[in-house]
Amino acid sequence: MFCRTCGKEVPENAEICLNCGAKPLAGNKYCQNCGAETNPKAVICVKCGAKLKHIGVGKDWLTAVLLSFFLGELGIDRFYLGQIGLGILKLITFGGFGIWWLIDFILIACNSIRDADGNKLQKH
């Protein structure tokens, strides 16, 4: 990811940018792919064409686990994570005939899956 203040690359879990000392989430918005400054409301970087990630708080982990366990065969867990296309596909196939449901449940329980914006699920 890139610092939103100076545009320099910083580690994904950095609390501050080592170049300018600012918090990576503060300041202008920069493309996480090429580092170009972008419009704060932009969805795609006009320089490189990459989809911009909306850095923020991810969905609740416990909610995702419960939805996956009880309604995962209907794709409700994927809808909750903002992955509409996968939710529809999972709904049509009844959770990949149970196999996809089980795999998703394990991935969510191990917190190895991210929401549609690329944010990790948050344990509270």
What are the pLDDT tens digits along the chain (124 aa)?
Answer: 667 666 677 787 777 777 777 776 655 677 777 878 887 777 788 889 888 766 556 789 999 999 999 999 999 999 999 999 999 999 999 999 999 999 999 999 999 998 887 788 988 7
Return d(Cα 23, Cα 32) in angstroms, integer. 15
The verdict on residue 29 lying in a domain is: yes
Give the domain extent around 6.
Answer: 1-55
The verdict on residue 116 lying in a domain is: no
Q: 91 and 47 share a domain?
A: no
The verdict on residue 92 lying in a domain is: yes
pTM exceeds 0.85: no
The verdict on residue 123 lying in a domain is: no
Tally of domains within the chain = 2
The verdict on residue 122 lying in a domain is: no
